[in-house]
Each structure stands twice: as structure tokens, then as C-alpha cells.
Chain A
Amino acid sequence: MNSRSSSKWGIAILILSQCAVSTTDAVTLWHNQKDNFKDYYQRKFYGSSGMFGDTTAASGDSPLNVRGGDTASSCDSTSATSSITATKRQKQHRSPRFSILSKRQPIIPIDCCTDCSTCMSISSLETYNCHDALSSIPRGGHLHHTHDGSSSATSAANVLADTLLDNTSPNAASELINTATPYGIPLNIWKIIFQAMLTTINVVCWLLPLKSKKISENKLGLSIANAFSGGVFLSLAFGHLIPECVEGFHGVKSSSSGTVGSSILSNEALPYMIVLSGYLLIFFVEKVAFDAHDIMHEMESGGNSSHDSHTNKKEKKNGAPLPSLTTKESSGFTGSSAVILLGALGVHSILEMTALGLADTFGDSALLSLSIALHQPAESIALLVAFLKSGMPKPQIVQFLSVFSCMGPIGVAIGMAGKWRIVYIVYLALYLQILNTRYGTKTHSTLYHYYLPSTNSE
């Protein structure tokens, strides 16, 4: 089939090109600022003695190589698996989106075969002039969300699917959907175009402010942007994510009314409690399990030049140096919390991009990419601010942010491949890898920290 082969090649080209783009970005910036990085470590830990210049260069070199190799290999493996799965399961992700809010994987109707689900999307109904059948479906095309008469709705859907199956084959329906896109370009290619645009927007949004020194070294601007990003996060959590996951739980509950877990799922407080447990998870990881904050803070206040200038200003104002106050003021973000934020935003953007990969009409995918493009700049700027506040060297920031930009292509590829077992394994692997790199950097820096006093005393 034409669409299968095109989606397969599309996935391969997509992943390779996007990974290439962001890794070359990282590498070029790395090469530009390699000397700065080296200087940073020298200034930070050894003064300007250059006693351990070779070791710092080596240790500075290795993280990029390792991380670049990691991302490349992971992307390659996903492309390989996705190309396999794309040939295997093409029909499953053609099911329509069921609710307004849930842009994720739609709930597959239990009693309906997945083959006829293409015919049940509203646009195809409109193309077949089934207006009376269309009116029986509630707005948004959601079949399982009607609380009063779900049985009648499903029976209507069955009848509708039967009639449509009699008239046309799903093959013809998919061809119709493909030809309905503008310029005759198939839908998957359109998705790739949208995705490339989104990734360029994303990269531009963090690369331009990072490159310009006016923005990244303006203290007041940084703190105002930080407050703005705090508002962005709170508003995203309370206005966008929590309603969406409540909606998701609602759909699951109504679709699994007869099964065993329904008594647990019907609990209204469940999604909120999961939100709270997510909060507690990060709280535990940050504040309880690995309490290396003091070490990090001392190190950062000792090493970072911009923090130094800030504290110097403070001392001039106050007249006398206050050591406890200065360490508090230089706290801001730590590198670990910035990386945790990267993990959360990465999972969020993978979920969103998966929805884009799953969209089965041109209008749907255009709307989704518009909505992603509207709030992605805020997210990437917030992430950039978090990294800038952590006082990390810029090449490392570029590495982490290009990992963040890789999440989008991976998400679309997952959505277009449509194999769900792999999706969650990949989520888990990414999250674990991010946490791993976080602890890796932390042990790295604490090692440096413990190494520092001995060299100083000598």
C-alpha cells in the first residue's frame, strides 16, 4: 500500500533529519564554545593555574560524546522498531479522536472492529453525506462519553459502521482522506512538515535567547522571565493538564463499566491523587532522597562569575558581607531541578506530538500543530530560563535542550507507528535516562567539589 510505505520512509527520514539537525546544532555550538567551557571549569575549580588542564579537557569532552552517541543510537533504534511496527500495525491508529480534550490515543471501542473506525470519523461521514447518522453522534464524535444513553449511542455506531462497510471498503476511505489534504501531498508528509516547523520553532526559541548575551546575562530580565515561567507552569498544570487527564479518566471509566477495575476508576478523586503523587514523587527525589543541595549551592556560589558579581553588588549595598544571605540569594535553580523539569517537559511534548502523529485528518493535525506551536515557545523559554538560572556552562545547556528538541520527532514517530507497548517502554527509558544523566552530572560535580579543597590547601 502506498500510505504504508510512505509512512515508513517518512518516519525514517523524519527521525534522521531531526536528530541530525539538533545534534549538529549542539556540535557546532560546542565547537564554538569549547574553549569557554574549558575556561569555565578552570576558573571554577582550579583558579587559573591550569594544573589539571588536560584532565578537565578530557572530562569536558566525554559527556558530549557519550550523550551524542546515546541520542543517535536511541533514535536509530526507534526508527528501526517504528519502521517494523509501521508495517505491522497500520490499522489500529486510524481510529478517530473521541473527545475534545483528550488529544491522546483515542479509546478504542470494545465492541467495534478497528477496521471500520476510519469510516466513523466525522469528516468521512460528511464526505459520504451521512448527515442523519452524523446527527446521532454527539458533538466531538465521542461515542462513549454520553452518560445517559451510552448503549443507544453504541448501537447507533454499530449500525452506522455496518452500513458504511456495505457501501465502501476502508481502503477507499483512507484513500479519500489522503486525497482530501491540500496540494495532493499525503497526510503523513504533511505531519512531517508540521513537525519540522514545530521543531524549528522550538530550536529557535531556545537558541536565539541563548546566543544573545543581552538576554542571557540580564539579571532583572532573567528573574522576570523566571516568574513568568512559574506562571506558565502553574497555568499549564491547572488549566490544561489536569482537566485533560480528568477527561481521560472519565473516558476510561465509562468505557470499562463492566470490568473489574471500574470501582477504583469511578472514584472521582483518583486523577487528583495521581497528580498529588506526581508532586510527591518529585518532592521526594529532590528534597528527601538526594539531599545534595547544600553542596551544589556552595559550589555554584563559589564558582559562577555572574553570581559573584551579583553577590558583590549586594555586599556593596549592605555594607558588610553576609555569608548566609549570599548563599541563599545565589540559589535560584539547581542543575538537578532543571533536568527534572526537562524530563517533565519532554514527556509532555512526547505525549503531545504522539497526538499529532495519531491525527487522522488534515484539519486535526493542523489544529493540533497550531495549538502546540502556540504554547511551545513559552515552555522552551521557561526551560531555558531554568537552565540559565542553574549556572550551567552553555554547551551543556545546549546539549540538554537539544535532547528536549529531539522529543518532538520521537513523539511523532511513535504516534505514526502506533504501537503502544513500545510507547510506554520508551517513556520509561527516557525518563530513566534523564534521571541517570542527572545523577551522573551530580556525582561528577560533587567529585570535583571534594577534590577542590585539597588542591586549594596546597
Chain B
Amino acid sequence: MAQKLTQRYTTTTYPQPTVNNFASPIVDASMLAVVAGTFVYVGATEVIPEEWEDPEHKWKKFFALISGIVTIFAITQYTMTLEM
């Protein structure tokens, strides 16, 4: 009986190491996804509408927005080529 129990225990716990092996990257990736969602919220829902509520200097602000996007895009692309 005890042998059977231990057998069952071992058989049920056997796949656990594999689960653990992919568990932390998936938590990592979903963490990143939640952070990305936060960034989208902050960018698209907080900053931009509240900054454009006041239409003064709208062209300068738009230029600043585009330059921010382009700068970060260029930096990420550049670092990606470095890591290749």
C-alpha cells in the first residue's frame, strides 16, 4: 500500500520539473505584457488626450510626439542589431 502510494506520488510529481522549467519564462513574458499594457494606457489614454485638451502649440507637441516615437524606435532597432 505504502509502495503504491509512493509510486503514485512519484508518477504524479514527475512532470513537475518540466512545468517549472517553462513556468518562469511565461511569468516573465506575461509580466512584460502587463507592463506593455500599462505603457499603452499611459501613452494613449493619459498623456496624449490630456496634453491635447489645450490646443495651444499643437504642432510643436505633435512634432515632439513623433520625435519621441522615432527616437525610441531608432534606439531599439539599433540595440537589436547590436545583439545579433
Contact = CB atoms under 8 A, between A and B. Distances in A.
Contacts of B80: 100-101
A406 interface: no
Contact of B47 (A100, A226, A348, A378): A226
B39 to A, nearest CB: 4
A108 B21 contact: yes
B81 to A, nearest CB: 10
Interface in A222-266: 223-242, 244-245, 248-249, 251-252, 255-256, 259, 265
Given A223-B61, A240-B76, A367-B83, A283 B40 contact: no
Contacts of A228: 64-65, 67-68
A323 to B, nearest CB: 16
B38 A229 contact: no
A278 B37 contact: yes
Contacts of A386: 42
Given A100-B83, A224-B60, A259-B18, A233 B34 contact: no
A278 B15 CA distance: 30
A424 to B, nearest CB: 6
Given A278-B34, A378-B68, A351 B28 contact: yes
B5 to A, nearest CB: 23
A105 interface: yes
Interface in B15-72: 15, 17-19, 21-22, 24-48, 50-51, 53-54, 57, 60-62, 64-72
Of the listed residues B26, B30, B36, B54, the one surrounded by the most CB atoms of chain A closer than 10 A to its CB is B36
Contacts of B18: 110, 256, 259
B29 A271 contact: yes
B18 to A, nearest CB: 5
Given A251-B25, A347-B31, A231 B79 contact: no
Given A275-B33, A371-B83, A256 B66 contact: no
A304 interface: no
A368 B33 CA distance: 20
A220 B61 CA distance: 9
Interface stretch (A66-74, A180-188, A200-208, A337-345): A337-345
Interface string A129-173: 000000000011000000000000000000000000000000000
Contact of A233 (B43, B73, B78, B79): B43
B44 A274 contact: no
B interface, size bucket: 35 or more
A246 to B, nearest CB: 8
A274 B68 contact: no
B84 interface: yes
Given A100-B80, A274-B34, A367-B83, A235 B50 contact: no
B46 A223 contact: no
Of the listed residues A224, A233, A279, the one surrounded by the most CB atoms of chain B closer than 10 A to its CB is A233
Interface stretch (A7-15, A43-51, A325-333, A437-445): A325-333
B2 interface: no
Interface in A184-220: 220
A292 interface: no
A241 B68 contact: no
B75 interface: yes
Contacts of A283: 41, 45
Contacts of A370: 79, 82
Contacts of A139: 84
Given A101-B80, A236-B72, A227 B25 contact: no
A265 B78 CA distance: 30
A356 to B, nearest CB: 13
Contacts of A371: 75, 79, 82-83
Contact of B53 (A282, A331, A374): A331
B48 A230 contact: yes
A279 B31 contact: no
A278 B33 contact: yes
8 interchain residue pairs of minimum CB distance: A278-B37, A231-B68, A248-B29, A278-B34, A230-B47, A233-B43, A371-B79, A344-B38
27 contacts: A100-B80, A101-B80, A104-B28, A110-B21, A223-B54, A223-B57, A223-B61, A227-B64, A229-B68, A230-B48, A233-B42, A235-B69, A235-B76, A237-B43, A238-B40, A241-B32, A245-B32, A248-B29, A248-B32, A259-B15, A259-B22, A271-B29, A271-B33, A274-B33, A278-B35, A279-B38, A351-B31
